[in-house]
Amino acid sequence: MNIRFLLLLLIALLIFSIGCRRTAVAPGGGAPPSAVQANFTVEDMREAILKGCLDAGWQAAQIDANTIDATIVVRGKHTVVVSIPYTAESYAINYKSSINMAYKGKSDGGVAIHGAYNRWVNNLHAAIQKQIAQKKTAKTT
């Protein structure tokens, strides 16, 4: 009886792990808006975002005065493009498009995408935050 229970538990875990291969993200997707404090200029934010993109392995392109598009291509197979609107005080990372990421709308109004998307966007967010922190430190010293 214990072996049967363990076998059923193993099968349930296997089915659950297969079902979790896609991770739901909020419409627009990506990292939450981030705020910075004190004497940070739009140019400081632009530079922090561009350097953060470079550090995280994303290619960045200025789209307009306050928007950067960033693209990552992983193993020549997966491509993600995000839009990063920004001001001197904040920025957001929003899903724009993807290739081979299984992006699709869900019946509940949410979306689903390959689980790696969240990891790549979180890494980008962390790299930008690191650049903002370095710029803030440089401005105060």
Q: Identify which of 60, 68, 66 has the alpha carbon closest to the alpha carbon of residue 42.
A: 66
pLDDT at 4: 64
Residue at 43 is within a domain: yes
pLDDT at 110: 82
Measured distance CA(75)–CA(36) in Å, rounded = 34
Written as six digits, the tokens of 46 are 């632009």
- Cβ contact 124:70 at 8 Å: yes
Residue at 119 is within a domain: yes
pLDDT at 132: 92
Q: Which residue numbers in the chain have pLDDT < 70?
A: 1, 4-38, 139-141
pTM beyond cutoff 0.85: no
Residue at 2 is within a domain: no
pLDDT at 24: 40
Residue at 16 is within a domain: no
We report the CATH number of the domain holding residue 133 as 3.30.310.80
Number of domains in the chain: 1
Instruction: Supply the range of the domain harboring residue 30.
Output: 23-140
Measured distance CA(117)–CA(11) in Å, rounded = 27
- Cβ contact 50:60 at 8 Å: yes
pLDDT at 107: 85
pLDDT at 16: 46
pLDDT at 63: 95
pLDDT at 37: 59
Measured distance CA(44)–CA(132) in Å, rounded = 8
pLDDT at 44: 93
133 Cβ neighbours under 8 A, 6+ residues apart: none
Residue at 6 is within a domain: no
